[in-house]
Amino acid sequence: MTVQPDHSRFCAWIWLAALALLAPGCTVWQVGDIAPDYVNGSTHRGAEVLAFDAESKVLASGGWDGDIALWVLGSGKPERVWQAHDGFVLGVAFIGDQLVSGGQDGRLKSWSRTGQALHSIDTGSGITQLAVLNGRVVTGHKDGSVRAWTLPAFDASMHLMLHDGNPVSALAVDAKTGRIASGGYGGRVFLIENSGRTREL
Amino acid sequence: MTVQPDHSRFCAWIWLAALALLAPGCTVWQVGDIAPDYVNGSTHRGAEVLAFDAESKVLASGGWDGDIALWVLGSGKPERVWQAHDGFVLGVAFIGDQLVSGGQDGRLKSWSRTGQALHSIDTGSGITQLAVLNGRVVTGHKDGSVRAWTLPAFDASMHLMLHDGNPVSALAVDAKTGRIASGGYGGRVFLIENSGRTREL
Protein backbone atom coordinates (compact mmCIF):
# COMPACT_ATOMS: atom_id res chain seq x y z
CA MET A 1 0.00 0.00 0.00
CA THR A 2 1.71 3.17 -1.15
CA VAL A 3 0.76 6.69 -2.06
CA GLN A 4 3.91 7.47 -3.97
CA PRO A 5 2.74 9.26 -7.11
CA ASP A 6 2.64 6.75 -9.88
CA HIS A 7 3.26 8.42 -13.20
CA SER A 8 1.45 6.05 -15.49
CA ARG A 9 -1.52 5.96 -13.18
CA PHE A 10 -1.53 9.72 -12.83
CA CYS A 11 -1.52 10.13 -16.59
CA ALA A 12 -4.26 7.53 -16.92
CA TRP A 13 -6.24 9.47 -14.40
CA ILE A 14 -5.79 12.76 -16.24
CA TRP A 15 -6.88 10.98 -19.40
CA LEU A 16 -9.96 9.62 -17.66
CA ALA A 17 -10.75 13.02 -16.21
CA ALA A 18 -10.47 14.59 -19.66
CA LEU A 19 -12.79 11.93 -21.03
CA ALA A 20 -15.20 12.58 -18.20
CA LEU A 21 -15.21 16.27 -19.01
CA LEU A 22 -15.78 15.62 -22.68
CA ALA A 23 -18.39 12.92 -22.32
CA PRO A 24 -21.87 14.25 -21.82
CA GLY A 25 -23.63 13.18 -18.68
CA CYS A 26 -22.18 10.76 -16.23
CA THR A 27 -19.17 8.54 -16.64
CA VAL A 28 -19.24 5.11 -15.10
CA TRP A 29 -15.87 4.06 -13.77
CA GLN A 30 -15.42 0.43 -12.97
CA VAL A 31 -12.97 -0.28 -10.21
CA GLY A 32 -10.84 -2.18 -12.67
CA ASP A 33 -10.35 0.97 -14.71
CA ILE A 34 -8.39 2.64 -11.98
CA ALA A 35 -6.50 -0.41 -10.77
CA PRO A 36 -7.12 -0.38 -7.03
CA ASP A 37 -4.37 -1.77 -4.85
CA TYR A 38 -5.80 -4.86 -3.25
CA VAL A 39 -4.13 -5.04 0.14
CA ASN A 40 -6.03 -8.15 1.05
CA GLY A 41 -9.30 -9.84 0.21
CA SER A 42 -12.32 -9.02 2.24
CA THR A 43 -11.57 -7.44 5.59
CA HIS A 44 -14.88 -8.01 7.30
CA ARG A 45 -17.69 -10.41 6.79
CA GLY A 46 -19.76 -7.27 6.34
CA ALA A 47 -18.54 -3.73 6.77
CA GLU A 48 -21.02 -2.01 9.03
CA VAL A 49 -19.59 1.25 10.30
CA LEU A 50 -16.82 3.61 9.24
CA ALA A 51 -15.18 6.68 10.77
CA PHE A 52 -12.35 9.01 9.84
CA ASP A 53 -10.35 10.56 12.64
CA ALA A 54 -10.23 14.35 12.97
CA GLU A 55 -6.77 14.57 11.44
CA SER A 56 -7.84 12.58 8.37
CA LYS A 57 -5.01 10.17 8.99
CA VAL A 58 -6.79 7.05 10.15
CA LEU A 59 -9.94 5.27 9.07
CA ALA A 60 -11.68 2.81 11.37
CA SER A 61 -14.07 0.17 10.11
CA GLY A 62 -16.26 -2.14 12.12
CA GLY A 63 -17.76 -5.35 10.81
CA TRP A 64 -20.47 -7.90 11.30
CA ASP A 65 -17.83 -10.26 12.62
CA GLY A 66 -17.03 -8.04 15.61
CA ASP A 67 -13.71 -7.02 14.12
CA ILE A 68 -12.38 -3.50 13.97
CA ALA A 69 -9.80 -2.55 11.37
CA LEU A 70 -7.58 0.52 11.60
CA TRP A 71 -6.23 1.89 8.34
CA VAL A 72 -3.39 4.36 8.37
CA LEU A 73 -4.15 6.46 5.30
CA GLY A 74 -1.46 7.72 3.01
CA SER A 75 1.33 5.66 4.50
CA GLY A 76 2.87 2.29 3.97
CA LYS A 77 2.05 1.20 7.48
CA PRO A 78 0.17 -2.05 7.76
CA GLU A 79 -3.38 -1.92 8.94
CA ARG A 80 -4.48 -3.59 12.16
CA VAL A 81 -7.49 -5.85 12.54
CA TRP A 82 -8.67 -7.30 15.82
CA GLN A 83 -11.68 -8.88 17.47
CA ALA A 84 -13.33 -6.03 19.37
CA HIS A 85 -16.88 -7.24 20.03
CA ASP A 86 -19.02 -10.32 19.98
CA GLY A 87 -21.49 -9.93 17.13
CA PHE A 88 -21.84 -6.78 15.06
CA VAL A 89 -19.79 -3.66 15.63
CA LEU A 90 -22.53 -1.03 15.39
CA GLY A 91 -20.64 2.17 16.07
CA VAL A 92 -17.12 3.56 15.78
CA ALA A 93 -15.96 7.12 16.39
CA PHE A 94 -12.76 8.93 17.18
CA ILE A 95 -12.52 11.27 20.15
CA GLY A 96 -9.16 12.96 20.19
CA ASP A 97 -6.57 10.21 20.07
CA GLN A 98 -8.98 7.50 21.15
CA LEU A 99 -11.22 5.24 19.14
CA VAL A 100 -14.55 4.36 20.73
CA SER A 101 -16.63 1.39 19.62
CA GLY A 102 -20.04 0.02 20.51
CA GLY A 103 -21.32 -3.44 19.80
CA GLN A 104 -24.37 -5.63 19.55
CA ASP A 105 -22.88 -7.25 22.66
CA GLY A 106 -23.77 -4.12 24.65
CA ARG A 107 -20.14 -3.29 25.28
CA LEU A 108 -18.69 0.18 24.95
CA LYS A 109 -14.93 0.14 24.45
CA SER A 110 -12.09 2.55 23.89
CA TRP A 111 -8.87 1.90 22.04
CA SER A 112 -5.64 3.66 21.32
CA ARG A 113 -4.87 4.54 17.73
CA THR A 114 -2.77 1.43 17.54
CA GLY A 115 -5.63 -0.77 18.69
CA GLN A 116 -4.62 -1.24 22.32
CA ALA A 117 -7.59 -1.80 24.64
CA LEU A 118 -8.10 1.08 27.08
CA HIS A 119 -11.51 0.84 28.72
CA SER A 120 -14.48 -1.46 28.37
CA ILE A 121 -17.88 -1.47 30.05
CA ASP A 122 -20.96 -3.62 29.72
CA THR A 123 -23.96 -1.34 29.21
CA GLY A 124 -26.40 -4.21 29.58
CA SER A 125 -28.18 -3.56 26.30
CA GLY A 126 -27.01 -3.93 22.73
CA ILE A 127 -25.67 -0.69 21.26
CA THR A 128 -27.45 0.16 18.02
CA GLN A 129 -26.18 3.71 17.44
CA LEU A 130 -23.11 5.66 18.51
CA ALA A 131 -22.24 9.33 18.11
CA VAL A 132 -19.86 11.85 19.61
CA LEU A 133 -21.16 15.13 21.01
CA ASN A 134 -18.78 17.70 22.43
CA GLY A 135 -16.37 15.13 23.84
CA ARG A 136 -19.05 12.82 25.18
CA VAL A 137 -20.12 9.52 23.69
CA VAL A 138 -23.84 9.20 22.97
CA THR A 139 -25.31 5.74 22.48
CA GLY A 140 -28.66 4.38 21.41
CA HIS A 141 -29.63 0.93 22.64
CA LYS A 142 -31.74 -2.07 21.82
CA ASP A 143 -33.85 -1.41 24.91
CA GLY A 144 -34.82 2.04 23.60
CA SER A 145 -32.52 3.96 25.91
CA VAL A 146 -30.37 6.91 24.88
CA ARG A 147 -27.31 7.41 27.06
CA ALA A 148 -24.27 9.63 27.32
CA TRP A 149 -20.83 8.78 28.67
CA THR A 150 -17.74 10.72 29.58
CA LEU A 151 -14.21 9.62 28.84
CA PRO A 152 -11.91 8.08 29.75
CA ALA A 153 -13.76 5.53 31.91
CA PHE A 154 -17.26 5.76 30.38
CA ASP A 155 -18.94 7.31 33.40
CA ALA A 156 -22.65 7.48 32.62
CA SER A 157 -23.84 11.09 32.49
CA MET A 158 -27.30 10.52 31.02
CA HIS A 159 -29.66 7.58 30.76
CA LEU A 160 -33.07 8.17 29.21
CA MET A 161 -35.58 5.38 28.74
CA LEU A 162 -37.34 6.23 25.48
CA HIS A 163 -39.01 4.56 22.52
CA ASP A 164 -41.21 2.21 24.55
CA GLY A 165 -38.48 -0.38 24.73
CA ASN A 166 -38.05 -0.43 20.96
CA PRO A 167 -34.49 -0.30 19.61
CA VAL A 168 -33.03 3.09 18.77
CA SER A 169 -32.70 3.22 14.98
CA ALA A 170 -31.32 6.73 14.49
CA LEU A 171 -29.30 9.30 16.42
CA ALA A 172 -28.35 12.81 15.38
CA VAL A 173 -26.30 15.24 17.42
CA ASP A 174 -25.84 18.98 17.08
CA ALA A 175 -22.59 20.29 18.49
CA LYS A 176 -23.71 23.92 18.45
CA THR A 177 -26.65 23.46 20.79
CA GLY A 178 -25.71 20.16 22.44
CA ARG A 179 -29.00 18.71 21.25
CA ILE A 180 -29.56 15.02 20.58
CA ALA A 181 -32.35 13.63 18.42
CA SER A 182 -33.28 9.98 18.56
CA GLY A 183 -35.59 7.83 16.50
CA GLY A 184 -36.82 4.35 17.29
CA TYR A 185 -38.25 1.30 15.62
CA GLY A 186 -41.57 2.32 17.10
CA GLY A 187 -41.53 5.46 14.96
CA ARG A 188 -41.29 8.03 17.75
CA VAL A 189 -38.79 10.87 17.53
CA PHE A 190 -37.39 12.59 20.62
CA LEU A 191 -35.41 15.77 21.05
CA ILE A 192 -33.07 15.90 24.05
CA GLU A 193 -31.91 19.37 25.01
CA ASN A 194 -28.44 19.96 26.39
CA SER A 195 -30.08 20.29 29.83
CA GLY A 196 -31.45 16.76 29.55
CA ARG A 197 -34.99 17.98 29.06
CA THR A 198 -36.65 15.70 26.56
CA ARG A 199 -39.71 16.13 24.41
CA GLU A 200 -41.32 14.06 21.76
CA LEU A 201 -41.50 15.61 18.33
CA MET B 1 -34.23 -8.71 -3.67
CA THR B 2 -35.05 -6.12 -1.12
CA VAL B 3 -32.48 -4.18 0.82
CA GLN B 4 -32.95 -5.01 4.42
CA PRO B 5 -31.79 -2.07 6.52
CA ASP B 6 -30.06 -2.91 9.71
CA HIS B 7 -33.24 -3.25 11.72
CA SER B 8 -33.84 -6.68 10.30
CA ARG B 9 -31.04 -8.27 12.22
CA PHE B 10 -32.82 -7.54 15.46
CA CYS B 11 -35.85 -9.53 14.49
CA ALA B 12 -34.54 -12.73 16.02
CA TRP B 13 -33.34 -11.11 19.17
CA ILE B 14 -34.95 -11.86 22.48
CA TRP B 15 -35.65 -8.63 24.23
CA LEU B 16 -33.57 -8.25 27.35
CA ALA B 17 -35.00 -6.16 30.13
CA ALA B 18 -31.99 -6.10 32.37
CA LEU B 19 -30.13 -2.83 32.70
CA ALA B 20 -26.56 -2.81 33.82
CA LEU B 21 -25.71 -1.46 37.22
CA LEU B 22 -25.41 2.22 36.67
CA ALA B 23 -22.27 4.08 37.46
CA PRO B 24 -22.54 6.52 40.37
CA GLY B 25 -23.77 9.87 39.22
CA CYS B 26 -25.98 8.51 36.50
CA THR B 27 -29.63 9.41 36.60
CA VAL B 28 -32.28 7.27 35.01
CA TRP B 29 -35.02 9.44 33.64
CA GLN B 30 -38.17 7.78 32.51
CA VAL B 31 -39.92 9.77 29.86
CA GLY B 32 -42.78 10.32 32.25
CA ASP B 33 -40.47 11.95 34.78
CA ILE B 34 -39.62 14.83 32.55
CA ALA B 35 -43.04 15.33 31.04
CA PRO B 36 -42.25 15.35 27.36
CA ASP B 37 -44.54 17.41 25.18
CA TYR B 38 -46.35 14.95 22.99
CA VAL B 39 -46.99 16.79 19.76
CA ASN B 40 -48.70 13.79 18.30
CA GLY B 41 -48.55 10.05 18.62
CA SER B 42 -46.04 8.19 16.57
CA THR B 43 -44.74 10.16 13.61
CA HIS B 44 -43.33 7.36 11.55
CA ARG B 45 -43.89 3.68 11.39
CA GLY B 46 -40.20 3.47 12.19
CA ALA B 47 -37.82 6.40 12.43
CA GLU B 48 -34.86 5.53 10.29
CA VAL B 49 -32.76 8.63 9.69
CA LEU B 50 -32.32 12.02 11.34
CA ALA B 51 -30.47 15.21 10.50
CA PHE B 52 -30.11 18.65 12.05
CA ASP B 53 -29.62 21.59 9.74
CA ALA B 54 -26.47 23.68 10.03
CA GLU B 55 -28.26 26.48 11.90
CA SER B 56 -29.64 24.06 14.52
CA LYS B 57 -33.11 25.29 13.75
CA VAL B 58 -34.68 22.39 11.92
CA LEU B 59 -34.60 18.63 12.40
CA ALA B 60 -35.55 16.27 9.59
CA SER B 61 -36.60 12.70 10.18
CA GLY B 62 -37.23 9.99 7.63
CA GLY B 63 -39.24 6.87 8.27
CA TRP B 64 -39.92 3.37 7.12
CA ASP B 65 -43.18 4.58 5.69
CA GLY B 66 -41.47 6.87 3.18
CA ASP B 67 -42.50 9.95 5.12
CA ILE B 68 -40.25 12.86 5.95
CA ALA B 69 -41.05 15.12 8.89
CA LEU B 70 -39.62 18.60 9.37
CA TRP B 71 -39.49 19.93 12.91
CA VAL B 72 -38.92 23.59 13.58
CA LEU B 73 -37.01 23.49 16.84
CA GLY B 74 -37.57 25.99 19.62
CA SER B 75 -40.69 27.45 18.14
CA GLY B 76 -44.38 26.82 18.26
CA LYS B 77 -44.54 26.29 14.54
CA PRO B 78 -46.27 23.12 13.47
CA GLU B 79 -44.17 20.43 11.93
CA ARG B 80 -44.72 19.19 8.40
CA VAL B 81 -44.98 15.55 7.42
CA TRP B 82 -45.27 14.34 3.84
CA GLN B 83 -44.85 11.26 1.70
CA ALA B 84 -41.40 11.63 0.16
CA HIS B 85 -40.48 8.14 -1.02
CA ASP B 86 -41.95 4.73 -1.68
CA GLY B 87 -40.57 2.41 0.97
CA PHE B 88 -37.91 3.39 3.48
CA VAL B 89 -36.31 6.81 3.61
CA LEU B 90 -32.67 5.80 4.03
CA GLY B 91 -30.90 9.16 4.08
CA VAL B 92 -31.64 12.79 4.89
CA ALA B 93 -29.20 15.68 4.98
CA PHE B 94 -29.29 19.44 4.78
CA ILE B 95 -27.17 21.33 2.26
CA GLY B 96 -27.54 25.04 2.81
CA ASP B 97 -31.24 25.78 2.72
CA GLN B 98 -32.13 22.53 0.99
CA LEU B 99 -33.04 19.16 2.39
CA VAL B 100 -31.86 16.16 0.38
CA SER B 101 -33.36 12.70 0.80
CA GLY B 102 -32.63 9.28 -0.59
CA GLY B 103 -34.93 6.29 -0.57
CA GLN B 104 -35.17 2.57 -0.98
CA ASP B 105 -37.07 3.50 -4.15
CA GLY B 106 -33.77 4.68 -5.68
CA ARG B 107 -34.94 8.26 -5.84
CA LEU B 108 -32.82 11.21 -4.82
CA LYS B 109 -34.89 14.28 -4.00
CA SER B 110 -34.41 17.81 -2.78
CA TRP B 111 -36.84 19.90 -0.79
CA SER B 112 -37.12 23.41 0.50
CA ARG B 113 -37.12 23.91 4.24
CA THR B 114 -40.87 24.07 4.11
CA GLY B 115 -41.11 20.71 2.37
CA GLN B 116 -41.70 21.91 -1.18
CA ALA B 117 -40.39 19.50 -3.82
CA LEU B 118 -37.48 20.95 -5.79
CA HIS B 119 -35.73 18.22 -7.76
CA SER B 120 -36.13 14.47 -8.07
CA ILE B 121 -34.18 11.89 -10.02
CA ASP B 122 -34.38 8.13 -10.34
CA THR B 123 -30.91 6.70 -9.74
CA GLY B 124 -31.99 3.24 -10.81
CA SER B 125 -30.81 1.53 -7.64
CA GLY B 126 -32.07 1.74 -4.07
CA ILE B 127 -30.19 4.29 -1.98
CA THR B 128 -28.83 2.71 1.20
CA GLN B 129 -26.55 5.50 2.45
CA LEU B 130 -26.45 9.25 1.99
CA ALA B 131 -23.85 11.80 3.06
CA VAL B 132 -22.86 15.35 2.23
CA LEU B 133 -19.29 16.17 1.29
CA ASN B 134 -18.26 19.73 0.52
CA GLY B 135 -21.54 20.67 -1.07
CA ARG B 136 -21.96 17.43 -3.01
CA VAL B 137 -24.31 14.59 -2.19
CA VAL B 138 -22.66 11.18 -1.88
CA THR B 139 -24.84 8.08 -2.10
CA GLY B 140 -24.31 4.38 -1.56
CA HIS B 141 -26.59 1.99 -3.42
CA LYS B 142 -28.10 -1.46 -3.34
CA ASP B 143 -26.13 -2.38 -6.45
CA GLY B 144 -22.83 -1.63 -4.67
CA SER B 145 -22.20 1.66 -6.42
CA VAL B 146 -20.96 4.81 -4.73
CA ARG B 147 -21.96 7.99 -6.51
CA ALA B 148 -21.68 11.74 -6.13
CA TRP B 149 -24.10 14.42 -7.26
CA THR B 150 -24.02 18.17 -7.57
CA LEU B 151 -26.88 20.45 -6.70
CA PRO B 152 -29.32 21.75 -7.65
CA ALA B 153 -30.30 19.22 -10.35
CA PHE B 154 -28.36 16.16 -9.11
CA ASP B 155 -25.90 16.04 -11.97
CA ALA B 156 -23.84 12.87 -11.52
CA SER B 157 -20.18 13.70 -10.93
CA MET B 158 -18.98 10.25 -9.88
CA HIS B 159 -20.23 6.71 -10.34
CA LEU B 160 -18.05 3.89 -9.04
CA MET B 161 -19.12 0.26 -9.25
CA LEU B 162 -17.76 -1.28 -6.04
CA HIS B 163 -18.56 -4.03 -3.56
CA ASP B 164 -19.19 -6.77 -6.14
CA GLY B 165 -22.81 -5.77 -6.49
CA ASN B 166 -23.44 -6.05 -2.75
CA PRO B 167 -25.34 -3.20 -1.09
CA VAL B 168 -23.32 -0.38 0.44
CA SER B 169 -23.73 -0.64 4.21
CA ALA B 170 -21.55 2.25 5.39
CA LEU B 171 -20.29 5.58 4.09
CA ALA B 172 -17.92 8.01 5.78
CA VAL B 173 -16.77 11.32 4.37
CA ASP B 174 -13.92 13.57 5.35
CA ALA B 175 -14.42 17.22 4.48
CA LYS B 176 -10.78 18.12 5.02
CA THR B 177 -9.38 15.79 2.38
CA GLY B 178 -12.49 15.17 0.32
CA ARG B 179 -12.08 11.45 0.92
CA ILE B 180 -14.95 8.98 0.93
CA ALA B 181 -14.84 5.56 2.55
CA SER B 182 -17.40 2.92 1.73
CA GLY B 183 -18.17 -0.47 3.21
CA GLY B 184 -20.39 -3.14 1.74
CA TYR B 185 -22.37 -6.19 2.77
CA GLY B 186 -19.60 -8.21 1.20
CA GLY B 187 -17.15 -6.91 3.78
CA ARG B 188 -14.86 -4.95 1.48
CA VAL B 189 -13.81 -1.42 2.39
CA PHE B 190 -12.84 1.15 -0.25
CA LEU B 191 -11.18 4.53 0.04
CA ILE B 192 -12.04 7.05 -2.66
CA GLU B 193 -9.66 9.97 -2.91
CA ASN B 194 -10.86 13.43 -3.83
CA SER B 195 -9.40 12.82 -7.30
CA GLY B 196 -11.67 9.82 -7.76
CA ARG B 197 -8.78 7.39 -7.38
CA THR B 198 -10.08 4.38 -5.51
CA ARG B 199 -8.28 1.64 -3.64
CA GLU B 200 -9.39 -1.21 -1.49
CA LEU B 201 -8.28 -1.12 2.11
Q: Tell me the average confidence (pLDDT) per consecutive run of 10 residues in chain A, 201 residues long.
A: 42 45 39 34 77 91 92 76 94 95 97 93 97 97 97 96 94 95 92 91 82
Residue B19 pLDDT greater than 80, yes or no: no
What is the structure's pLDDT at B78? 62
Q: Percentage helix, strand, coil, to 5, in chain A?
A: 10, 45, 40
Q: Report which of residues A25 and B190 the model is more confident about.
A: B190
Q: Are A94 and A116 in contact (CB under 8 A)?
A: no
| Interface touch B39/A165, C-beta < 8 Å | no
Closest residue in B to A179 (Cα–Cα): B56
Q: Which residue has the higher pLDDT, B79 or B191?
A: B191
CB burial of residue A7 (10 Å; 0-12, 13-18, 19+)? exposed
How much is the pLDDT for A8? 47
Q: Mean of the per-residue pLDDT values for chain B?
A: 81
Nearest residue of B to residue A169, measured between CA atoms: B48
pLDDT tens column, B172-188: 999 999 999 999 998 89
Q: What's the pLDDT at A30?
A: 37
**Is the model more confident about A162 or about B77?**
A162
Compute the count of residue pairs across chains A and B with CB atoms less than 8 Å apart: 255
A121 in contact with chain B, both atoms CB, cutoff 8 A = yes
Q: Note the pLDDT of residue B47.
A: 79
Q: Do A48 and B181 touch (CB under 8 A)?
A: no
The whole-number average pLDDT for the span B145-174 is 96
Nearest C-alpha of chain B: how many angstroms from A119? 14
Structural domains of chain B sorted by starting position, each given as residue range(s) with its CATH number in brackets:
43-122 (2.40.10.480), 124-200 (2.40.10.480)
Instruction: Write down the number of H helices and E strands in chain B.
Output: 0, 17
Are residues A136 and A148 in contact, defined by beta-carbon separation less than 8 angstroms?
Answer: yes
Query: Is residue B50 predicted with pLDDT exceeding 50?
Result: yes
- Worst-scoring range by mean pLDDT, A141-145, A147-151, B35-39, B118-122? B35-39
